Amino acid sequence: MIWTILSIIILLVVVYFVFVNFYPTFGGDVNEDRQRLYQSSSNFSDHKFRNIDASVPPDLGLSKTLGIAYKFFTTKVPNGSPSHDLQVQKVNKKILKEQDSTQLIWFGHSAFYLKMNDKSILIDPMFGKVAAPHPWLGANRFNSELPIEIEDLPSIDAVIISHDHYDHLDYDSIIALKDKVSHYYVPLGVGVHLEAWGGIESSAITELDWWQEVTLGDIQLACTPAQHFLVER
């Protein structure tokens, strides 16, 4: 009996190791060059990025972290999910070709298409059915249809990624979009995933530290800090 249990445990460990290290949704590995880039940040110390808010505990400890995770995944929110598929208003792709117009399309999650100042921008393009590293590990999105299909989107001047959680940075969406996108603007640490996934050139990726700014035409982009729990890929 004991050998059966040990065999099952070993098998689960091997499956987990293979899944985490070889399944593409977990992204790329940090090499020495990127490690040096992170170390040059004033917000990086002891091999980690640190919160700039001193009131945030630097380490919650294993027991408290597990407690928070357990509560997060087991607490049911009343009416937290719709009982039916949400209706989606479809967008005619011809509208996106209109010149001198400001447009905003919400895809669900935090995914938006924004057209302004003659620039087409996608923010956190999560177009997949499940916001998780594998479809078995998450719930389906509330709308089975998108307002407009990916292939009907125009050329995209910029993709902006806020952070690397699965409901903001989606492997399948990045792969489907890569031939349409001119440039990516992401926080430090996210660029390695883009390069690993779609063979996106580093020259097409701008990684920003907190409070760094960059211009996109006559639009000013600023990378501002926000407090949010961490899930490392």
Q: How far apart are CA 157 and CA 152, in angstroms?
A: 15
| Predicted pLDDT at 120 | 95
The answer to whether 61 and 212 are in contact (CB under 8 A) is no
The answer to whether 141 and 129 are in contact (CB under 8 A) is yes
The answer to whether 186 and 205 are in contact (CB under 8 A) is yes
In a domain, 43, yes or no: no
In a domain, 160, yes or no: yes
Res. 110 pLDDT band, cuts 50 70 90:
very high
CA-based max dimension of the chain: 72
Query: Which structural domain, as residue segments, surrounds residue 210?
Result: 95-222
Contacts within 8 Å (CB) and 24+ apart, 115-120: 116/219, 117/217, 117/218, 117/219, 118/217, 119/157, 119/158, 119/216, 119/217, 119/219, 120/96, 120/154, 120/155, 120/156, 120/157, 120/158
| Predicted pLDDT at 227 | 76
Helix (H) or strand (E) holding 159: strand 158-160
pTM: 0.84
Rg (CA), the chain: 20
In a domain, 78, yes or no: no
| Predicted pLDDT at 18 | 65
In a domain, 38, yes or no: no
Burial bucket for residue 181 (CB in 10 Å: 0-12, 13-18, 19+): buried
pLDDT digits (tens, 9 = 90+) for 120-150: 999 999 998 887 787 777 788 888 889 999 9
Q: How far apart are CA 167 and CA 75, in angstroms?
A: 19
Domains in the chain, number: 1
- Round the average pLDDT of the chain to a whole number and report it: 84
Of 199, 195, 187, 119, give the one whose Cα is nearest residue 157. 119
pLDDT, mean of residues 162-173: 92
- The CATH number of whichever domain residue 151 belongs to comes to 3.60.15.10
